[in-house]
Amino acid sequence: MSDTPAVSVNHLTKVFKGTLVKGAFRAVHDLSLTVKAGEVYGLIGPNGSGKSTTMKVILGLLKPTEGDTSIFGVPSTEVASRSDVGFLPENPYFYKHLNGRETLHFYGSLCGMRGAKLKERASEMLALTGLEDAATRRVGGYSKGMLQRLGLAQALIHEPRLLVLDEPTAGVDPAGSRKIRDLIIEFRSRGITVLVTSHLLEQMQEVCDRVGIMAHGRMVREGRLEDLIAVENQTEMVIENASPALLAQIDALVKAAGSDTRLLRSGHPRTTLERLFLEATNEAKKS
Amino acid sequence: MSDATTSSAAAKTPKVRFSPQRVWTMAMATVTQLIRMKILAFLVLFCLLAVGAGFAFSVINPEQQLSLLKSVTLGALQIFSIVIGVVSTALLLPKDLEDRTLYTILSKPVPRFDYLLGKLIGVLMLIGGGLIVMDAILSLILWMRQSLLFDEAVNHLRMEKMDSAEAVTQMREIVARQGLTWNLHWAVWAIFLKATVVTTVALLLSSIASSTLFTIVITFCVTIIGHGEALIREFFFTPNLSGMTGRAAALLLAAICPDLAQFDIVDSVVNGEIVPWSAVLNMTSLAAIYVTVYMFITHLVFAEKEL
């Protein structure tokens, strides 16, 4: 796999111009992050933390006030940077008058695909997202979960190397949500890089290799998930076949004990991503 | 990441250029959307009603009958091609933004100009298609009607015992001049050109404003002012009519608004006058210049638009 990062954000600042009534608004402040090729990167943060703005800058929908972003080494300001990206916005809507298959043909055609290859790929994507039965139904009659899956299908239609998913499970029922989670895991196994935002932190914990936590437009924590959720000032011991007495004098006994009593693992106990998220965003609020 | 990595990756990635296929895809999606919104059916139905209305008034002679039919139908086509151009364009862009469809389109390798041009061509294809259908229907009705009216007029002359060869020839000439001629198609072409210019203005305003209502209202204002460019010019060039501020405002209006009166050949066609080729060529060239200039400005605005 290439060393070129899938996504690179360097000292990004985005300020929205104010009006006569409202002043300027700084949505993102000096943000830097890198998403390596082939990993699943979760960008999490409370509403208004700047996640969607960051994604829009990465996709070239917004221009940075300062700093720059690139996709596989190509600056986001160039249209060519979008050749390798599939994007699923939050609560996507598509042209209601088209059916599912026509929608995929439309997006594939925009990417320069045509003919048998496009038809084959559209069928493949409908099968992957479980929409084969609804392929000829107008999109206007799709449920929220179906729209989300159609959004995933259109994002994947041109075989991108990077998927950008903004709240992919928002408003989707638990079964649909699990399906999307499984798809993300499958994308990773196929070598597709995924940049995802979600409020469902348990799911993020299940699928992400690395996460970045944003609050008030800044990155407040970033790193490998395993490292981030480790509690540095505590030690966890997992003991097999421990007696109550042994538990009472645990340190001494473990050292002294022989025979069947073994120290299987020693390290830092894990908190949950949810707790870490709340702590991190509260710290940012206080400061 | 080093600048060298970025520049080498950027150099390796092929540039995304203007693509007629992509524009065609956008245009076809727009046409499908508008057709499934029943807009074309509405246009055709209304214009058929207008054709019917052309027969509803009492008339004195065949010339008046044919003239009235053309006047009512071409008038209706003119109004509705503009209304559909303005309303469709004003609705489509904000709706794409509101529904986030624009995000999924522009996050693909789609230059913003291709998107805009596709939308414009889609709306114009719908208007053009509607006008072709109406031109065909009107031509057929005029052709049938002129034969009938000529026979009726000759019978009338015969009853009055005034059916000399000279009188019949004169009647044939009158009916033929007011009947089906190429002038009718040029009138429909002029209506299309005017609708094209107004639709491009609507697209420009739609790329600036976020409100559909604002776009519709301002475009109709520009359309009304555009029909009065001659008055504005007269106001500007008559020194005693106003002060510097008034003249500056007149100059600004004249510069911003297209001169839509240049496309007004419907009255001449209704009166049976011949439209010369040079006039058609001038109108077409003027429309091409307006569309190019307005599209260029629209592209500049939309390329910088924060989505």
Domain boundaries, chain A: 7-225, 236-267
Which of B255, B266, B263 is CA-nearest to residue B293? B255
B13–A81: do the CB atoms touch at under 8 Å? Answer: yes
**What is d(CA B70, CA B76) in angstroms, rounded to the nearest whole number?**
10
Q: Average pLDDT, whole number, for chain A?
A: 85
Backbone angles phi, psi at A85, to 5 degrees: -120, 140
A interface test, pick of B97, B107, B302 with most A CB neighbours within 10 Å: B107
| CA proximity to A211, closest of A196, A190, A200 | A196
Q: Tell if the CB–CB gap between A97 and B15 is shorter than 8 Å.
A: no
pTM of the model: 0.83
Q: What is the ipTM of this complex?
A: 0.81
Q: Has residue B253 got a pLDDT over 60?
A: yes
Tell me whether strands A66-71 and A74-75 are parallel, antiparallel or unpaired: antiparallel
Write the DSSP string, B271-307: TTPPPPHHHHHHHHHHHHHHHHHHHHHHHHHHHT---
Q: Are A139 and A99 in contact (CB under 8 A)?
A: yes
pLDDT value of position A265: 62
Q: What one-letter code names the amino acid at A257?
A: A
Listed by start position, the domains of chain B span 20-303
Answer yes or no: do B29 and A106 touch at CB < 8 A.
yes
Instruction: Calculate the CA A185 to chain-centre distance.
Output: 11
pLDDT value at A194 more than 50: yes
CA A138 vs. chain centroid, Å, equals 29
Give the pLDDT of residue A120: 94
A11: left (phi over 0), alpha (psi -120 to 50) or beta: left
Q: Which residues in chain A have their CB less than 8 angstroms from residue B30's CB?
A: none
Tokens of A151: 């959004």
B105 vs A contacts (CB less than 8 Å): 107, 110
Do residues B69 and A135 touch, judged by C-beta distance below 8 A? no
What phi and psi, each to the nearest 5 degrees, are found at residue A209?
A: -85, -45
The predicted structure's pLDDT at residue B169: 79
- Which residues of B have a CB under 8 Å from any CB of A? 1, 5-6, 8-10, 13-16, 19, 21-22, 25-26, 29, 32-33, 36-37, 99-101, 103-111, 304, 306-307
Instruction: Give B116→chain A minimum CA distance, Å.
Output: 13
Q: Do B306 and A79 touch (CB under 8 A)?
A: no
Among A38, A37, A57, A4, CA closest to B10:
A4
| pLDDT greater than 80 at residue A103 | yes
Q: What pLDDT was estimated at residue B1?
A: 46
Which of B16, B19, B99 is the closest to A83 by Cβ?
Answer: B16
- Tokens matching residue A228: 């981030």
Judged by CB atoms closer than 8 Å, whether chains meet at B103 and A61 is answered as yes
Q: How far is A91 from chain B (nearest CA, A)?
A: 8
| Contacts across the A-B interface (CB distance below 8 Å) | 127
CB contact under 8 A, A63 and B306: yes
Helices marked H in chain A — which ranges? 51-58, 100-110, 115-128, 144-156, 174-189, 201-207, 225-228, 244-248, 250-256, 273-286
Chain B residues within 8 A of A56 when measuring between CB atoms: 103, 307
Which pLDDT belongs to residue A254? Answer: 64
CA dihedral B138, B141, B145, B146 (to 10 degrees): 50
Contact in structure between B163 and B153 (CB atoms under 8 Å): no
Q: Cβ–Cβ of A79/B109 closer than 8 Å? A: yes
Give which of A91, A94, A95, A139 to mutate to test B binding, by max B Cβ within 10 Å: A95
Q: Please give the single-letter amino acid code of residue B287.
A: A
B273 — pLDDT class (breaks 50, 70, 90):
confident
Q: What CATH class does A7-225 carry?
A: alpha beta
**For residues A128 and A109, what is the distance between their CA atoms, to the nearest angstrom?**
19
Q: How far, in Å, CA of A70 to CA of B110, rounded?
A: 17
pLDDT class of B96 with cuts at 50, 70, 90: confident
Q: Give the model's pLDDT for residue B118.
A: 95
- For residues B237 and B166, the model is more confident at B166
Per-residue pLDDT band for A29 (boundaries 50, 70, 90) equals: very high
Beta-carbon contacts of B90 under 8 Å, excluding residues fewer than 6 positions away, are B202, B205, B206, B212, B215, B216, B219
Q: Does B3 score more than 80 pLDDT?
A: no
